[in-house]
Amino acid sequence: MIIQTVACIGGGVIGAGWVARLLENGINVNVFDSASDTQQKMQAVLSNADRAYAKLTMAQRPSKGAIAFSDSMQAAVENAQWIIESVPERIDIKHGVYAEIEKYAANDAVIASSTSGIMPTDLQRNMLHPERLFVAHPFNPVYLLPVVEIVGGEKTASVIIDRAKTFYASLGMKPIHVKKEIEAFVADRLLEAIWRESLWLIKDGITTTQELDDIVRFGFGLRYAQMGVFETYRIAGGEAGMRHFLAQFGPCLKWPWTKLMDVPEYNEELVELIAGQSDQQSGHISIRELERIRDDNLIAIQQALKANDWGAGQVLAEYEKKLFDDGARSVSTGNEVDYSEPILTTERRIPPDWTDYNNHMNEARYLQCFGDATDAFMRMAGCDAAYIESGSSFFTVETHIRHLDEVRVNEPIHTKTQLLAGVGKKIHLFHFMYHADGRLLATGEHMLVHVSLDTRAASFPSQAMQAILSAIAEHHARLPIPDGAGRAVGQSRQH
Amino acid sequence: MIIQTVACIGGGVIGAGWVARLLENGINVNVFDSASDTQQKMQAVLSNADRAYAKLTMAQRPSKGAIAFSDSMQAAVENAQWIIESVPERIDIKHGVYAEIEKYAANDAVIASSTSGIMPTDLQRNMLHPERLFVAHPFNPVYLLPVVEIVGGEKTASVIIDRAKTFYASLGMKPIHVKKEIEAFVADRLLEAIWRESLWLIKDGITTTQELDDIVRFGFGLRYAQMGVFETYRIAGGEAGMRHFLAQFGPCLKWPWTKLMDVPEYNEELVELIAGQSDQQSGHISIRELERIRDDNLIAIQQALKANDWGAGQVLAEYEKKLFDDGARSVSTGNEVDYSEPILTTERRIPPDWTDYNNHMNEARYLQCFGDATDAFMRMAGCDAAYIESGSSFFTVETHIRHLDEVRVNEPIHTKTQLLAGVGKKIHLFHFMYHADGRLLATGEHMLVHVSLDTRAASFPSQAMQAILSAIAEHHARLPIPDGAGRAVGQSRQH
């Protein structure tokens, strides 16, 4: 059954988040909410979602669904195959809403409650067709966070749970079926425990909200984005895994390490239950392999946040800035560089994610290396962050690359750079990329233009920079013209 | 004061993590641990760290520090300016270690304990020079997670805390000064609360370790990687912020939403304390702006995890695969493609992390786009995953790019591809990159060679592929030769 029209009853933050996720996935939505400002408030969420989906995936999405603001429950639900209820968290209000829905909706329309706390058995108590009601508890922002807790009540049909899992997965979500009902389900139990402990830490003056938040987002929050509570601790247990971890930390349960002291009894039964489940969950991956997966994820997350100039990514950026500054010192002062031969501009090993399906460095990374070599050369000539900040830079206008040999992951490479011409507004660079074993891997020939960042038009470099460039050009003019310079694609050798 | 040599006393997981972070930052380390297998166990952590740092940053790092395994406390600490203690969590053991350190170390050598639970005032109680001891509590993996809790005891000198913040920041870490001592400090308080609640959820049979972990890593774990407890809830409060959130959820503190029921009293004083701190922390950013920052981070994290084929990234990958399948374009089957003009090979928007310090698409991304266009063209000609699996592929041997115009984040671009020659073992491609507004942004001219992946030598494409390439080449021979084709860097126009 293909869901074409969903009714969303209640248009607060959670309801609006559902509407956004549905529309972005090409599903039509009828919204019913008695509040007069629903439409206006919802617009803010919908435009956030539009903005987010443009970035989330490069894949072509279906045409957006149509949204209709219904002026009655009847209009909203009568043609809907799926009904999402996100009204306030009071059971009397929810019971009233279900009674009205059942008056107008088809008997087989599915009803999903977004409640974060009330048990579905209690929700479905007075319904005519209770088998179609379940809880689908999402998290803010609903249009971006994958998880949705699926919880059935005593009377919920199992086929409805199966349909729910399929439907939410088709929206790009990760449905998790919580098989036993409790108030607040699973995620909010954990969040409530953190929340209560956090309130104590602030109230007792141990920390501020800022410090506490930083301790989360620069620390265990990064881990939880990729592995949960048990898999993380399984690694901490080392090769001996979960049993070792439990043996080590089980006794702490009796220690006053949280204000929250109602703890389960630590005994053999608890150890077996948890260690057994952990084996089933992660036992097929060795601890060493789990460590590598974790490390790769932590790196990728920090690099992703660096691109957004936020949180742990800012720490990484500052660290790199310091490394660049430290490393720039050796090449930043023209005097120390030997101009009598091509200048060493970069040295690195090939990172694992630079290789492609042909199991060698991807062609685009060659240009990335040459771009870095150009940057290093420019910094040496005085085009550093401060110079760019002051309003000028170099833009590459033309590139010629000869891919001469392959290079694989972790292999060490370096670049040397020869200045073919450096007078006026243009510079003409020639990079040699070498393997540490001496093989020439590639050459890059580049024309750059000095520009004003205001007008984006060509301009002259500063006097100081022109002086450095002239000095280098004068020395490099004595070097042989590199093999491949001035060559067009497919042209036979000129030199 | 520049730290050149650090002594690490205790070489378990945490001690080894410290050693790794120090060595990667060019600092020499003396290790002392009486266990006989320290060196061997530590090697595993050090090689993990080597692997991680090769990926973490492209910046040039200092030469690795030297590691020495000392056979006595004296040898380890006598020339060290900084001493890191990571021995088992028993105060009697730690007191013994400090007494020995003080026998041999310089009086002004700093001593940092990695304890996760014991208060520094208790640690420094019997010391001769207690002012130099403090807690620096890191998190696993120490070489990658930025956070470190800095906690001083009653006798710790404030200058030592300042030096600690500077030193750990220089190692790429985020030191957070916890100003009031409690057992287990801040992060482990929160983690212990989650842990205790998690044990209940497993013990009570509500969920399995796998389901609980999934609920974390596909849900709030993604949020916590970029914003903490309070900033996240500030957003949930909407424009009214933290006060509104507290008013809405404060009463829940009395509800049985966790097994952990020792809660602070919810009153006006608590609200003012928390809302006031939250204002100070995040009040300079509007809720709308916080939402956008959060969304960008959640997207970037999911995309980063997609590259690692893990967790929330797998969900995104499956979602995209479904979108690609649904929208499978005509370009996949040769017959449907119109050969009478250059072929549409890619369409995309510029992702946020593709721009550089000049605020436009980085030059290397031009080649990435052209590489993707080449891949799309090759797939169309039958060089798909199965063909490559069978042992042949195309390698790019030469590239010429003209960067004609700038393009910025989120702007839509597409490429069209003309086959200049496609007979024998070589193909000669010419890509046009257009902005959706019609501007020609760049051209890419590429020579590729068909190779055997076994021998890495040139070979002929399959008969079927040669037939498709010939057909395209025949049609494209009727098109004008593109402006810029056959051009060398710096050469004036030929056409």
DSSP assignment of A413-424: EEEEEEEEE-ST
State how far the alpha carbon of A398 is from the alpha carbons of A267, A386, B399, B405, B443, in Å: 70, 25, 11, 11, 10
Bridge partner list, B421:
B428
Burial call A64-80: b when 16+ CB within 10 Å, e when fewer: bbebeebeebeebbbeb
- Chain B residues closer than 8 Å to A226 by CB: 217, 221, 305, 310-312
- The rounded mean pLDDT for chain B is 88
Structure token pair of residue B147: 């956070």
Q: Chain B contact for A309, CB < 8 A?
A: no
- Chain B residues closer than 8 Å to A190 by CB: 194, 197-198, 201, 212, 215-216, 220
pLDDT value at position B373?
Answer: 93
CA distance A348 to chain B (A): 7
Question: Using a CB cutoff of 8 Å and minimum separation of 24, what contacts does B200-203 make?
Answer: B200/A189, B200/A264, B200/B259, B201/A186, B201/A189, B201/A190, B202/A273, B202/A274, B202/A277, B203/A264, B203/A270, B203/A273
Q: Chain A contact for B128, CB < 8 A?
A: no
pTM, entire model: 0.77
With cut-offs at 50, 70 and 90, classify the pLDDT of residue B330. very low
Structure token pair of residue B239: 């424009």
CA distance A107 to chain B (A): 31
Nearest to A174 among B180, B214, B357 (CB): B214
Amino acid identity for residue B444 in this structure = G
**Cα distance between residue B464 and residue B239, in whole Å:** 62
Ranking A132-136, B92-96, B168-172, B445-449 by mean pLDDT, the lowest is B168-172
**Cα distance between residue A200 and residue A206, in whole Å:** 9
Beta carbons of B52 and A213 less than 8 Å apart: no
* ipTM field: 0.77
CA distance A367 to chain B (A): 5
- Chain B residues closer than 8 Å to A256 by CB: 183
Interface contacts (A, B; CB < 8 Å)? 611
pLDDT value at position A261?
Answer: 60
Q: Chain A contact for B482, CB < 8 A?
A: no
Q: Chain A contact for B397, CB < 8 A?
A: yes
Q: Is A51 left (phi over 0), alpha (psi -120 to 50) or beta?
A: alpha
% chain B with pLDDT above 70: 91
State how far the alpha carbon of A165 is from the alpha carbons of A21, A43, A152, A162, A187, in Å: 16, 28, 12, 5, 18
Phi, psi of A94 (to 5 degrees): -65, -45
DSSP state of A251: G
- Chain A residues closer than 8 Å to B487 by CB: 488
Q: Chain B contact for A284, CB < 8 A?
A: no
B355 → chain A, closest CA residue: A307
CB-CB neighbours of A465 under 10 Å: 20
Q: Residues 32..71 of A with a Cβ closer than 8 Å to B: which?
A: 44, 48, 51-52, 54-62
pLDDT value at position B261?
Answer: 60
pLDDT value at position B60?
Answer: 66
B304 → chain A, closest CA residue: A300
More confident call, A111 vs B350: A111
Q: What is the mean pLDDT of residues B368-391?
A: 89
Chain position carrying tokens 């992951």: A409
What angle, 0 to 180 degrees and rounded to 10, lies between the N-to-C axes of helices A287-307 and A312-332? 80
Nearest to B205 among A56, A180, A270 (CB): A180
Beta carbons of B197 and A190 less than 8 Å apart: yes
Asked if residues B236 and B223 have their Cβ atoms less than 8 Å apart, the reply is: no
Q: Chain A contact for B240, CB < 8 A?
A: no
Beta carbons of B183 and A255 less than 8 Å apart: yes
pLDDT value at position B124?
Answer: 98
Structure token pair of residue A292: 């590598």
Structure token pair of residue B373: 């266009």
Q: Give DSSP secondary structure letters for A322-364.
A: HHHHHHHHHHHSGGGS-TTSPEEEEEEE--GGGB-TTSSB-HH
Nearest to A277 among B202, B308, B371 (CB): B202
**Cα distance between residue B306 and residue B317, in whole Å:** 6
Q: Compute the Cα dihedral for B282, B286, B287, B292 and give only its sign.
A: negative
A470, A469, A448, A471: which is closest to A458 by C-alpha? A448
Nearest to B304 among A13, A186, A300 (CB): A300
pLDDT value at position B495?
Answer: 40
Most confident of A430-434, B242-246, B361-365, B454-458: A430-434
More confident call, B273 vs A489: A489
**Cα distance between residue B155 and residue B120, in whole Å:** 9
Phi, psi of A451 (to 5 degrees): -130, 155
Beta carbons of B178 and A211 less than 8 Å apart: yes
CB-CB neighbours of A110 under 10 Å: 24
pLDDT value at position B238?
Answer: 74
Asked if residues A196 and A259 have their Cβ atoms less than 8 Å apart, the reply is: yes
Calculate Rg over the CA atoms of chain B. 30
- The rounded mean pLDDT for chain A is 88
CA distance A335 to chain B (A): 21
Q: Chain A contact for B328, CB < 8 A?
A: no
Structure token pair of residue A464: 């100081």
**Cα distance between residue B64 and residue B22, in whole Å:** 9
Bridge partner list, B452:
B392
**Cα diameter, chain A:** 92
Phi, psi of B372 (to 5 degrees): -65, -40
The stretches in chain A having pLDDT less than 70 are 1, 58-60, 251, 253-264, 324, 326-336, 351-353, 357-358, 492-495
CA distance A104 to chain B (A): 32
